Structures are given as structure tokens and as C-alpha cells.
Amino acid sequence: MRARFVNTTAPALHSVWTRPSRPRLWTCSSCSRLARSTPNRPLALQSAPDQKPYYITTPIFYVNAAPHVGHLYTLVLTDILKRWRVLKGEKALMCTGTDEHGLKVQRASAKAGIEPKLFCDKGAAIFKELAAKALISNDHFVRTTDSDHKDAVAYAWFLLQEKGLIYTKKHEGWYSVSDEAFYPQSVVQPYLDPPTGRKIMTSVETGSEVEWSSEENYHFRLSEFREPLLQFYGENPEWITPAHRMKDVVQAVESGLEDLSISRPSERLTWGIRVPQDNSQTIYVWLDALMNYVTKAGYPWAPGRDNAGGWPADCHVIGKDIVRFHCIYWPAFLMALGLPLPKKILTHAHWTLGGSKMSKSTGRVVDPFLALDRFGPDVMRYYLAHDGGIQDDGNYDNVQIIKLYNNFLWAQVGNLVSRITRGKKWSVRGAIERIGPLPASEWAEGPGSRFYNTLSTFPLNIAESLDAHDPRRAVRLIADLIRSSNQYFQMSEPWKKILEYGPGEPGEEVDRIVYLATEALRMAGILLQPYMPNKAKTMLDQLGVDDTRRTFEYCAVGRDLHYGTPKIDLGVKYTGALFPPLPSEE
């Protein structure tokens, strides 16, 4: 296909980067294969434009080391936000994957004595296993060794070069192998490494060791994007969450931008995508890696298919250590390519262990596989969302997980479900049939009116938090409702108010108490689905909620009057309990 340089969807802000030039004929390998297989078929798809789905991404993870709990946290946060959109009835896509090029992977595979591609295959399989084990509902798993990704990167390089935004020069500076990045003198510092006693230079931002490097390579004219970036930040002041990281990014760009080295000599970096028409250079891993987000959205897309794969991304979820790459380099690349920028960047904090930073070098890390095996995916997802930090680091603690399980999941959620559904002196289904049809005016005053009002406003508060990309606040509001429901049920004492009219008909006051408490559980169960998919399903099955009535549309008092008959055997005591007591580890 012939390269196209006019992007009709690009904002006016970026039009300066679409100046005309004489294009060279360039065809990606995927298009060549398609053309050969269907010679009489035009490459441009003729179908009508599709509606843009909600598109959310994790960063792609390096395969040079085993996953840790930080990777799991990013996956869970992203999955919760994706599942929330599905709960609202939207089409949503989630992309995750692995970053498989660069010096880190090259050195790690050499140390392991394995060919780089086989090393990457093994690493990618481990991250796929982690996602499956943690109940992550990703739609895409991108690998930077995929042929379609390589084609997209080569195409992007071609466009940047045609626009005069790539040039060659000798580059000298501090280079971090672990971060795959050059750093200016102003952001490196000397450091005495305690384990070895070595004096080294490290990045102020990430703490990674840097080494002096001098080489001839290609550069991207990042400095020319200082003003466009500042204009974009000014027009989108809430683009990065939380706000203090937005402020840090703005200050970094205001202080000036240096042009960015975007290739490495292939004699030093053999494992990566070679620069088109220059086999002596390998494309810089961050330009390579960042393009993954548009790769799985179908880039380069056919006319009329710009949004079909979800681009622009509605949210990138990233750790705070890669803010510079995603919030400065990535938007500059997109501006240069004439592509829309992502709508939101959610940056989260890290996990500490015993109050200290986790470190692979010291062995202070949490194996997510062991944690998932010990506590189960639903409990781990709930804990990470409840205790994980967005603004500030969270401290990982097995004791806290056990406390959260015993004091809340078992004693609050599981206990209330059991007390209501296994009650012998009332009928959940009967209470719904008799009380559910009452109009809202019947709850204006009298017993249960305050709790009714709490239930009426509760779903909108959750929606507000999740729409604002704050899963932690949302799950804590759900927890507050469960505790309030237990308190309401205990203080109302329905077991003392039974009227012996007949089996299952304990009287209107008891029916009202049972109905409100059950409605609280039903709505909480619906809203817990993004957090604990399996446990929430079991909870709704125990309440007898139909599979078609588990969306946010039904998350309102009185919206569903068809449940109340369990879909599964409730068992007795702890047999079949939603959250059975944890086994003793003595």
C-alpha cells in the first residue's frame, strides 16, 4: 500500500506535523501477504465505520524477570475498570502484553543461555498464565515480537522520517539498561550500593543504575513538541490522575525537552526491530514498545476504520515509574504521527514490603502466583483494590489480607448472605413479592426509611467513583454499605418480630427488613462483579438473581422483583458458604 500522510481525524494542534512531502513506496509485510492471497481484493475495507468501543490498556511487561505483585496490581486495576464498562452495557476492550525487545531482554536471554525468541516465548507464557489465574478479562495480548506490531512500528518510523522528525547524530549521555532510557546529567546522581559497596550513578526518578554511553544513532525531534505538549496539558488539566503527577509532568516539559535518541547500533543491540533501510541500527525499545497500544487497535487502519479498534484509548493504566515515557514521549510520538491522544492516564503507586521498597536484586518481592494459590483470585483482587495505592504506596501484608478476609469478607459479606438466605422464619422470595411493588412514597418515613434512602443513592456514588477511575474509593463505599446493612439487620431484629400467621408470612415489618437487606446484597453483588467475578457470581446465584439482570441497569431499589429463589444449593453452616473460614496454618 502507499503511505498516507493526511489524517482527517487529527486535531488542528497537530496539523503542523502533516506537511506534505514526496512519499516513497512502502508496503508492510502483512499487507503484502494479504495482497498476494487476495490479488483482486482492494485493501481498503468497504464496511461501514464501527462505533468506537471503550479501550483500556496496561503497560506491556518486560519478560526479563518473573512477574511480581506490582504487575498483578496493574492488571487487576485495569480489569476492574474494563469490567465496570461492560457492567454498564458498553462494549469494552482491554489490552495487555509483553515487552520483548531491548538490551535487558538480550542480556537476560544470553545469561540464561537461551535464544532470545525462545526466552521471550517462555516469559510471555508466564504473564499469560498470571492473567488467566487472576481472572483478567483481556481481549488482546500483544507481544512486541508479533509481526503485525513490527509492521506498525516500521510504518510509524517511515512516517516520522518522511516528516523530517528523525535525524542522525552522535549521542553521549547516561544510559539505563533496566529503564531502556538515556537520562540527562540533571537527573542522575551518585549512589553507594549497600550490597556490593560499589559507587555507581543512578537515575533520580527510578533509582536504576546508569552507565556512560557514546554512540551514533537516530534522534526524534522531541524538543519541537514542547509547546504543543504544554498547550495540550493546559487544555486537558485532568489528563493525568492523580493531579500531582500531572503537575510534575508539566514542570518537566516547561523546563525544556532534549531530542530523543530512538535507535541503538545493531552491533550492540541485536535483539529488536531494525531501522527500515538501515540494518546498522535497531529501533529504540520505547518507540517500539509504546506503539503496542495502537497495534492492537488496528494501526495502520484502513479508511473509515480509525475508531473500530478503540483508538484513541480511553485510559492507559501505568505505574508511577513510567510516567515520563507515557506522558511526554508517547503523546509527542502521537502528535508527530497525526494520531489522537489517549483520553486519560491513570498512574498508580507501588507496593512496599515491610515498609521498604520491593526489589528483585534483594529478593524482597511478592510472588503473585503463590499469593493467588494461597488466598484465591477473588480475595487477592479485592485486597489489591481495597489496599492498593493510587496516590501513595501501599504496604503488602499477608496478615492484613487475613484480617480483611476474617473481619469483612467472612464476618460481614458471607455472614449477611447466610443469615438472610438461610432464615427459617421468613421467605426472601415472599418479601420481594409483597414489598417490592410498593411505590417509593411508601418509604418516605417510618421504619427503614433512612436505610431505603441510603440504598437509593448508593449506586450513583459507586458509578461516580468508577467513572473517575477510582476503584479503591468505589470498593470502600461498597464495603461501607455491607457493614451498614449488617448493622441495620442486627438492630432491626426481624427474628423477634415474627407474626405466626403462617409459614413464610412473618408480617409486613419483617418483610420490609428482609427486603431492604436483600436488596442491599443484590446491588452490592452486582457492583462487586468487577472486583470478585467468581464470588460475586456465587453470591448472586445464592440470591437467585437471573443472569440477564446482573448489569448496572438493574442496580436500583425495586428494579428487579424476579429473584429470591436460590439458583444453587445453599448447603448448611460452612458447607457451601460464600466465604468459609480460612484453614488453620498452624
CATH number of the domain to which 56 belongs: 3.40.50.620
Q: Which residues pair with 199 in a beta bridge?
A: 192
Residue 263 pairs in a beta bridge with 283
- All three cell numbers of 579, joined, read 466465604
Mind listing the pLDDT tens digit for each residue in 218-248?
999 999 999 999 999 999 999 999 999 999 9
Q: In this predicted model, what pLDDT tens digit does every residue of 270-314 receive, in sequence order?
A: 999 999 999 999 998 889 999 999 999 999 998 888 899 999 999
> Is 44 contained in some domain?
no
Question: 417 and 361: one domain?
Answer: no
Look at residue 555 and tell me whether its pLDDT is greater than 70.
yes
Tally Cβ neighbours within 10 Å of residue 463.
17
Q: Is the pLDDT of residue 575 over 50?
A: yes
Q: How confident is the model at residue 10 (pLDDT cuts 50, 70, 90)?
A: very low
CB atoms within 10 A of CB 197: 7
456 and 513 inside one domain: yes
Q: What is the dihedral of CA 133, 388, 75, 368, to 10 degrees?
A: -40
- 225/333 Cα distance (integer angstroms): 9
Domains contained in the chain, number: 2
Residue 18 has pLDDT above 60, yes or no: no
Q: What is the phi/psi pair of residue 471, to 5°?
A: -60, -30
What was the pLDDT predicted at 502? 64
The residue assigned the cell 448489569 is: 551
Beta strands in 259-342, from DSSP E residues, in sequence order: 260-261, 263-265, 274-275, 278-283, 315-319
Average pLDDT over residues 464-477: 97
**Predicted local distance difference test score (pLDDT) of residue 581:** 86
Backbone φ and ψ for 283, nearest 5 degrees, come out as -65, 135
User: Under the phi-then-psi rule, with left for phi > 0, alpha for psi from -120 to 50, and beta for the rest, what region is 260?
Assistant: beta
Lowest mean pLDDT among 167-171, 172-176, 396-400, 528-532: 172-176
- Model confidence band, residue 414 (pLDDT cutoffs 50, 70, 90): very high
C-alpha cell of 235?
A: 487544555
Is 569 a domain residue?
no
Q: Is residue 24 part of a domain?
A: no
* Residues 425 and 300 placed together within one structural domain of the fold: no
Residue ending a domain, among 371, 387, 405, is 371
| Structural contact between residues 28 and 155, judged by C-beta atoms closer than 8 angstroms | yes
Q: 42 lies in a domain?
A: no
Kindly state whether residues 327 and 435 are assigned to the same domain.
no
**Is there a domain that residue 564 lies in?**
no
Q: What pLDDT, on the 0 to 100 scale, is given for residue 209?
A: 86
Asked which of 356, 371, 386 is the last residue of a domain, the reply is 371
Q: Which DSSP helix (H) or strand (E) runs through 295?
A: helix 292-295
Q: Which residues pair with 190 in a beta bridge?
A: 201
Q: Which long-range contacts (CB under 8 A, 24 or more apart) does 37-45 make?
A: 43/1, 43/302, 44/302, 44/303, 44/304, 45/302, 45/303, 45/304, 45/305
319 within a domain of the structure (yes/no)? yes
- Residues 145 and 99: beta-carbon distance below 8 Å: no
Task: Name the residue with cell 516539559.
Answer: 253
- pLDDT for residue 360: 64
Question: Which range marks the domain in which residue 542 is found?
Answer: 397-554
Final residue of a structural domain among 337, 371, 405: 371
109 shares its domain with 160: yes
Within 10 angstroms of residue 355's Cβ, the number of other Cβ atoms is: 8
Quick one: pLDDT at residue 446? 81
Q: Does 342 share its domain with 278?
A: yes
CB-based contacts of 64, cutoff 8 Å, min separation 6: 104, 105, 107, 108, 123
Domain-located, residue 194: yes
Domain-embedded: residue 286: yes
In angstroms, rounded to a whole number, what is the distance separating the alpha carbons of residues 527 and 519?
Answer: 12
Read off the CATH number of the domain in which 485 is found. Answer: 1.10.730.10
Is 206's pLDDT higher than 80?
no
177 with 291, same domain: the answer is yes
> Same structural domain for residues 320 and 401?
no
Tell me the three cell numbers of residue 51: 462505533
Read off the DSSP letter of residue 17: G
For residue range 56-65, list pLDDT tens digits in order: 999 999 999 8
pLDDT at 357 over 90: no
Rounded to the nearest 5 percent, the helix, strand and coil shares of the chain are 45, 15, 40
In this structure, what are the phi and psi dihedrals at residue 61, rounded to the nearest 5 degrees? Answer: -100, 140
Instruction: Say whether both 404 and 539 belong to one domain.
Output: yes
What average pLDDT does the chain have? 88
* pLDDT, average across residues 120-148: 98
Q: How far is CA 249 from CA 42, 178, 224, 288, 299, in A?
A: 44, 21, 17, 22, 27
* pLDDT of 348 over the 80 cut: yes
Task: Specify the pLDDT at position 193.
Answer: 75
Strand (E) positions, 177-304? 181-183, 188-192, 199-203, 209-220, 240-241, 260-261, 263-265, 274-275, 278-283
N residues, the chain: 586
365 with 409, same domain: the answer is: no
pLDDT above 70 for 374: yes
327 and 449 fall within a common domain: no
- Tell me if residue 440 falls in helix, strand or coil: helix
* Contacting residues for 280 by C-beta, under 8 A, at least 6 apart: 265, 266, 267
Residue 408 carries which DSSP code? I
CB 109 within 8 A of CB 55: no
Model confidence at 426, in pLDDT bands (50, 70, 90)?
very high
The pTM (predicted TM-score) of the whole model is: 0.86
The answer, yes or no, to whether residue 422 has pLDDT greater than 80, is yes
- The residue with cell 526524534 is 220
Tens digits of residue pLDDT in 492-532: 999 999 987 666 688 999 999 999 999 999 999 999 999 99
Strand, coil or helix: 561: coil
Q: Which runs of E-coded beta strand occur in 355-397?
A: 356-357, 394-396
Name the pLDDT band for 577 (thresholds 50, 70, 90): confident
Are 58 and 160 part of one and the same domain?
yes
